[in-house]
Amino acid sequence: MLLRSAILFAAAAVDAVAASGCSGFAGTCGRAYARNGTSGRPDADMVVFATYCLDEGGNRHYNPAVLINDCLANTFGQLTGGTGFAHSCRDFGIDPIGAPNFFHATCGDGRGNEKQSQIDLNQVLCNVNGNLACSQ
List pLDDT tens digits, range 31-62. Answer: 999 877 666 666 656 889 999 999 999 999 99
Superfamily of domain 25-134: Cyanovirin-N (2.30.60.10)
Cα 27 to Cα 10: distance, rounded to the nearest angstrom = 21
For 10: left if phi > 0, alpha if psi spans -120 to 50, otherwise beta; the answer is alpha
43 in helix, strand or coil? coil
Domain ranges of the chain: 25-134
- Which of 54, 55, 67 has the alpha carbon at shortest distance from 8? 67
**Beta partners for residue 92, in sequence order:** 37
109: Cβ contacts below 8 Å, ≥ 6 apart: 76, 77, 115
End-to-end CA distance of the chain: 26
Kindly report the pTM of this predicted structure.
Answer: 0.81
Q: What percent of the chain has pLDDT over 70?
A: 78
Q: Are 108 and 76 in contact (CB under 8 A)?
A: no
Instruction: Give the pLDDT confidence score for residue 103 in this predicted structure.
Output: 95
